[in-house]
Structure 1
C-alpha cells in the first residue's frame, strides 16, 4: 500500500503571503450536523433557511459585494441557540436565536450598510478549518489547534468549513481582524493568541487580510506592521507590485513580486499530482 501523503507536509517552504481569498462580507452560520465535503451545497438545512441564505447572498452580490458563506460549529456544546456572524471591514457583528427562524427578519445587505439587528462583537473570534471531508489535512491538523484555542479563549473558538488553501493547514480565520492564518502549531499558540488579543497581526502565520487584494496582503505581510491602512497598489514590469499604505507616521511603501518561475505544489491531498503556483515574494 502506498504511503499516505498529506499536502500540508509537502509544501512547508511555499510562501503563504497573499493567499487569502479576498472577501468583502463573511457570513458564518452555525450548522451542527456532520459536514460533508461541500457542506454549503450538501446539507440538511430546511427549505426556508436555504432560501434565506441564497436570497441574502444574491442581495449582497447585487450590492457589489463579494460574500463568502461558511458553516461554523462547536461540537462539544449542546445548546438550542444558533449563531450567525457577519464580518466586514467595519467589524464583526452577530445575532443568535433558537433554531433558524430568527434569520427571516435579517436582511444582510441592509445590516451590512447599517447594522440594526446585528450587534457588534469586539472580542476576537477564532475559526479553525476542520472539515476533513473536504481535505484530510484540515481535520488532521486543524482539530488539535481548535482544541488548543478552546483551552485559551473558550467559547470564542469555533470550527469552520473550508477556508481555502488546504496545503497551509491548519488554517485559522480571525475576526474582526479579517485575517487568515496558516501553519499554526500547538507550540506557537500562546504567542499567536497573545498577539491577536493585543490587537496585532500575528505575522509568523499570516496568509493575508481578506479585505485586501493579494498584492496588498503580501506587501502588508512583508512590512510586519499592524498599523497600516488604505493600500494603493501600482503594477510595475516583471510581475512587481508597489504598494503604499497610510500609517500614523506617514506613508509606507513596499514592493512585492510574483515568483518568476512557477512552483509545483500538491494543492490538496486528493490531487493526483503537483500543480503550478506563483507565490508572492519580497521585491
Structure 2
C-alpha cells in the first residue's frame, strides 16, 4: 500500500469552482528534456530563446492581457520539429518549426490581435493538457501520468503533458483549449462523461475549477448558476462591493445577478505535498442569486 502523503487526497473535500488562475493568452512551448520543479524559468534553452519566451508575458501586458507560459511534451513521440501553441480568443493556433530560433518569427501580438489572419494555423478539435510534473509536486506525476496515458489512448496527438497549472491539491489537473477551462480531480473513471461534454464544447460541472477568462468570483458564480439553473449564460459584469462581489450573467432576455463572498474564517488546507503545514484557504460562496427578464429591469 502506498503510504505517501498526497495533498490531493488530503484536500479531496475542498470546493473547486473559483480556483483557476485568470489567463487571457496561453503560450505553450514544446520542450522535451526533463523538467525541473520550476521548468519554465529553470531549463536548458539557449539564452536567446529563454529570454524571448520569458519576455512574452510582459509584451502582452502592454496590451492589457495576462499571459501564462507552459512547457508541453509528448515523450512517447520523436518529432522532427518543435511547436508553439497559442491559445486566445476561443481558438488555438499551432506553429511548428524546425528549431526554436525559427519560432522567434512568430508575432504573438499579431496572432492575438488578428486571429482571423492565422486561420491556417488554427486547430479545430479540443486539445488536452495534463499537468504531470512530479518535480514540482508528487501528485502531478502520481495521478497525472495515468490520466495522460488514458487520454492519449483516446485522442493521440491531441493530448499533451504540461508543467504546473496551479493547484497541486486538485490533481489530476487538465487544461482544455480552446475552451480555456481548467478541470481538477479528473480520473480515468470520469472520462466518458467528461469527454462527452468537453468534445461538444460544454463545461463539465462535476470537475470544473473554472474558466480562465473569468475572475475567480465569476468562476464560482457560473458553476453555481449552471448547476442550479442550467442554460447558456454569458458573463456581463463583476463588481467588488462590501467584502464580496456582485456578478451578473445574461442569457437571452434574462439577467442573473449573484452575490459572491468568502468566509471570514479560512479552512486550513495542505496545498502541496511538500508543505509542512496546512495553509488558509477561503473558498468563494454564492450567497444569493436572482434572475429577471428584461421586462422586469
When the two structures are superposed, what TM-score results if normalisation uses the length of structure 1? Answer: 0.94
Is the counterpart of residue 251 in structure 1 residue 258 in structure 2? no
Q: 2:146 maps to what in 1?
A: 144
| 1:18 CA displacement | 0.5
Alignment of 1:149-228 (within 5 A): 149-224=151-226, 225=230, 227-228=232-233
Q: 1:62 to 1:226 in 2, by over 3 A?
A: farther
Is the counterpart of residue 235 in structure 1 residue 240 in structure 2? yes
Gaps of 5+ in 1: none
Q: Equivalents in 2 of 1:266, 1:274: separation in Å?
A: 4
8 Å Cα contact 2:175/2:183 also seen in 1: yes
Q: 1:30 to 1:277 in 2, by over 3 A?
A: same
Gaps of 5+ in 2: 288-297
8 Å Cα contact 1:20/1:209 also seen in 2: yes
How many residue pairs get matched? 280
Is the counterpart of residue 265 in structure 1 residue 269 in structure 2? yes
Q: 1:55 to 1:150 in 2, by over 3 A?
A: same
Alignment of 1:2-21 (within 5 A): 3-21=3-21
| 1:178 CA displacement | 0.6
Q: Equivalents in 2 of 1:282, 1:140: separation in Å?
A: 33
DSSP-derived class of the 2:189 partner: coil
Q: 1:62 to 1:263 in 2, by over 3 A?
A: same
| 1:226 CA displacement | 6.6
Which shows bigger deviation, 149-158 or 159-168?
149-158
8 Å Cα contact 2:90/2:179 also seen in 1: no
